[in-house]
């Protein structure tokens, strides 16, 4: 059995985050000692590892909850899990595309600076002041 502190150290998940996952229903309420300390077993450690890995991959709390629900019912089809993962992949790809546009625009603005001085109309400051100077919608 693990205390919440030991579980935190073992998984790399901070104590307040573990409590948050319990409040959100991602983890069941743990057993308590007579002194009212939380005690976690192997199953809770594995569940927390699952949640942490899913969060590291960018899944929302809602998606993780749905995945846990599927995991708890092994007789169900994994098609829904695949759909959830495909949605996350699509979301990540959209973010990458957005970040690529942002990178391009920032590079263009940065490269446009002559370095002559602010009084000579700094290209960076002028570009930030006027969105119309941007080449892409970022």
The tally of domains found in the chain comes to: 2
Chain centre distance of CA 34: 36
In order of 17, 31, 37, 64, the CA distances from 27 in angstroms are: 11, 12, 16, 11
Residues 113 and 58 in one domain: no
Residues 47 and 95 in one domain: no
Q: Of 76, 101, 125, which marks where a domain is finished?
A: 76
Using one digit for the tens of pLDDT, what is the confidence trace for 49-59? Answer: 999 999 999 99
Residues 72 and 92 in one domain: no
In order of 14, 64, 137, the CA distances from 20 in angstroms are: 10, 14, 37
pLDDT confidence tier of residue 117, bands split at 50, 70 and 90: low
**Do the domain assignments include residue 45?**
yes
Residues 39 and 89 in one domain: no
Euclidean distance between CA atoms 88 and 123, whole angstroms:
38
Residues 65 and 86 in one domain: no
Q: What is the extent of the structural domain holding 60?
A: 4-76
Residues 93 and 61 in one domain: no
Residues 52 and 89 in one domain: no
- The CATH number linked to 20 is 1.10.1660.10
Euclidean distance between CA atoms 40 and 47, whole angstroms:
11
Euclidean distance between CA atoms 123 and 126, whole angstroms:
5
Residue that has been written with the tokens 């846990």 in this structure: 68
Using one digit for the tens of pLDDT, what is the confidence trace for 44-87? Answer: 999 999 999 999 999 999 999 999 999 989 899 899 999 999 99
Locate 19 and state its tokens. Answer: 């409590």
Residues 91 and 52 in one domain: no
Kindly report each contact of residues 99-103 with a partner whose C-beta sits within 8 Å and lies 24 or more positions away, as own/partner. 101/136, 101/137, 101/138, 102/138
pLDDT confidence tier of residue 125, bands split at 50, 70 and 90: confident
């Amino acid at each position: 059995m693990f205390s919440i502190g030991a579980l935190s150290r073992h998984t790399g998940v901070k104590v307040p985050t573990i409590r948050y996952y319990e409040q959100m229903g991602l983890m069941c309420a743990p057993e308590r000692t007579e002194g009212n300390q939380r005690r976690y077993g192997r199953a809770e450690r594995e569940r927390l590892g699952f949640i942490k890995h899913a969060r590291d991959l960018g899944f929302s709390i809602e998606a993780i909850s749905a995945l846990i629900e599927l995991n708890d019912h092994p007789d169900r089809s994994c098609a829904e899990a695949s759909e959830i993962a495909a949605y996350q992949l699509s979301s990540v790809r959209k973010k990458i595309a957005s970040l690529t546009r942002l990178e391009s625009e920032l590079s263009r603005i940065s490269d446009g600076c002559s370095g002559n001085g602010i009084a000579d109309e700094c290209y960076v400051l002028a570009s930030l002041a006027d969105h119309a100077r941007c080449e892409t919608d970022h």
